Amino acid sequence: MTMPSAPCARGYRSAVRALAPILLGAALFAGSLSAAVPPGQGPSAGGSQSQFKVTLLGTAGGPSQMGFERVETGVLVQAGPETLLFDCGRGVPERLAQLGSLGVSKVFLTHLHSDHTQGLPILWMSGWQGRNQNNFTVYGPATGPNQPVGTIGMGTSIANAWATNTYIRENLVEKYPAGGIVYNAQEISQGVVYSANGVKVTAFLVDHDPVMPAFGYRVDYSGYSVTLSGDTRPTANLIQYAAGTDVLIHEVFNAAPGSAAPTAAYHTVPEQAAAIFQSVAPRMAVYYHIAPAVFDPTPRTRAAGYAGPLTVGTDLTAINIGQAVTVTTCPSPDTPAISAVDNAADGTPALSAGETIVVWGTGFTATGGNSLTFSQTDSSGKVTSVTAGESSGGYFWDASYTLIGTALGSSIGAGNWNVTAKNACGISSPAFAVTIH
Ligand SMILES: [Zn+2]
Ligand SMILES: [Zn+2]
- How far is ligand 2, taken at its centre, from the CA of residue 111, in Å? 7
Q: What's the pLDDT score for residue 40?
A: 31
Q: What's the pLDDT score for residue 70?
A: 95
Confidence class for position 43, pLDDT limits 50, 70, 90: very low
- How far is ligand 1, taken at its centre, from the CA of residue 390, in Å? 38
Q: Say which ligand is closest to the CA of 291.
A: 1
Percentage of residues of the chain with pLDDT beyond 90: 80
Report, in this order, helix, strand and coil percent for the chain, each rounded to 5.
Answer: 25, 35, 45
Residue 77 has pLDDT above 70, yes or no: yes
Q: Is residue 188 domain-shared with residue 218, that is, in the same domain?
A: yes
**Buried/exposed code over 359-377 (b: 16+ C-beta within 10 A; e: otherwise):** bbbbbbbebbbbbbbbebe
List, in sequence order, every residue forming a beta bridge with 312; answer none if it has no partner.
287
Q: What's the pLDDT score for residue 427?
A: 95
Q: Is residue 80 domain-shared with residue 119, that is, in the same domain?
A: yes
How far apart are the C-alpha atoms of 72 and 88, rounded to whole Å? 8
- How far is ligand 1, taken at its centre, from the CA of residue 267, in Å? 9
- How far is ligand 1, taken at its centre, from the CA of residue 391, in Å? 40
Q: Which residue has the higher pLDDT, 266 or 400?
A: 266
Domain that holds residue 384: 6-42+333-436
Q: What's the pLDDT score for residue 378?
A: 87
Residue 13 has pLDDT above 60, yes or no: no
Q: Say which ligand is closest to the CA of 208.
A: 2
Q: Is residue 274 domain-shared with residue 361, that is, in the same domain?
A: no
Q: Is residue 420 domain-shared with residue 291, that is, in the same domain?
A: no
Amino acid 291 reads A
Q: What's the pLDDT score for residue 244?
A: 98
Q: Is residue 59 domain-shared with residue 196, that is, in the same domain?
A: yes
- How far is ligand 1, taken at its centre, from the CA of residue 121, in Å? 18
Q: Is residue 432 domain-shared with residue 384, that is, in the same domain?
A: yes
How far apart are the C-alpha atoms of 402 and 176, rounded to whole Å? 41
Backbone angles phi, psi at 185, to 5 degrees: -100, 135
- How far is ligand 2, taken at its centre, from the CA of residue 130, in Å? 29
- How far is ligand 2, taken at its centre, from the CA of residue 177, in Å? 34
Residue 384 has pLDDT above 70, yes or no: yes
How far apart are the C-alpha atoms of 223 and 51, rounded to whole Å? 12
Confidence class for position 142, pLDDT limits 50, 70, 90: very high
Q: Is residue 309 domain-shared with residue 364, that is, in the same domain?
A: no
> Does residue 326 form part of some domain?
no
Q: Is residue 199 domain-shared with residue 337, that is, in the same domain?
A: no
- How far is ligand 2, taken at its centre, from the CA of residue 313, in Å? 18
> Does residue 1 form part of some domain?
no
Mean pLDDT for the stretch of residues 348-356: 94
Q: Is residue 123 domain-shared with residue 70, that is, in the same domain?
A: yes
- How far is ligand 1, taken at its centre, from the CA of residue 69, in Å? 17
Q: What's the pLDDT score for residue 10?
A: 39
Q: Is residue 86 domain-shared with residue 198, that is, in the same domain?
A: yes
Residue-wise pLDDT for 247-285, tens only, equals 999 999 999 988 889 999 999 999 999 999 999 999 999
**What CATH number should be reported for the domain holding residue 353?**
2.60.40.10
Sequence-separated (6 or more) residues with CB below 8 Å from residue 16:
23, 342, 344, 347, 358, 401, 403
Q: What's the pLDDT score for residue 385?
A: 95
Write down which residue in 290, 321, 352 finishes a domain.
321
Average pLDDT, the chain: 89
Q: What's the pLDDT score for residue 64?
A: 72
Q: Say which ligand is closest to the CA of 87.
A: 1
Mean pLDDT for the stretch of residues 167-181: 97
Q: Which of 11-15, 53-57, 348-352 has the lowest mean pLDDT?
A: 11-15
Q: Is residue 376 domain-shared with residue 296, that is, in the same domain?
A: no
Q: What's the pLDDT score for residue 6?
A: 35
Q: What's the pLDDT score for residue 402?
A: 87
Residue 328 has pLDDT above 80, yes or no: yes
Q: What's the pLDDT score for residue 293?
A: 85
Q: Is residue 224 domain-shared with residue 80, that is, in the same domain?
A: yes
Confidence class for position 66, pLDDT limits 50, 70, 90: confident
Mean pLDDT for the stretch of residues 360-386: 93
- What is the total count of domains within the chain? 2
Q: Are 232 and 268 in contact (CB under 8 A)?
A: yes
> Does residue 328 form part of some domain?
no
Residue 215 has pLDDT above 60, yes or no: yes
Q: What's the pLDDT score for residue 313?
A: 96
Residue 383 has pLDDT above 50, yes or no: yes
Q: What's the pLDDT score for residue 317?
A: 95
Q: Say which ligand is closest to the CA of 73.
A: 1
Write down which residue in 321, 349, 384 finishes a domain.
321
Confidence class for position 89, pLDDT limits 50, 70, 90: very high
Residue 135 has pLDDT above 50, yes or no: yes
Q: Which of 87, 137, 145 is nearest to 111 (CA)?
A: 87
Residues with CB under 5 A from ligand 1 (ion): 113, 115, 231
Q: Say which ligand is closest to the CA of 116.
A: 1
Q: What's the pLDDT score for residue 60?
A: 96
**Strongest mean pLDDT among 235-244, 340-349, 380-389:** 235-244
pTM assigned to the model: 0.86
- How far is ligand 2, taken at its centre, from the CA of residue 247, in Å? 21
Mean pLDDT for the stretch of residues 390-400: 89
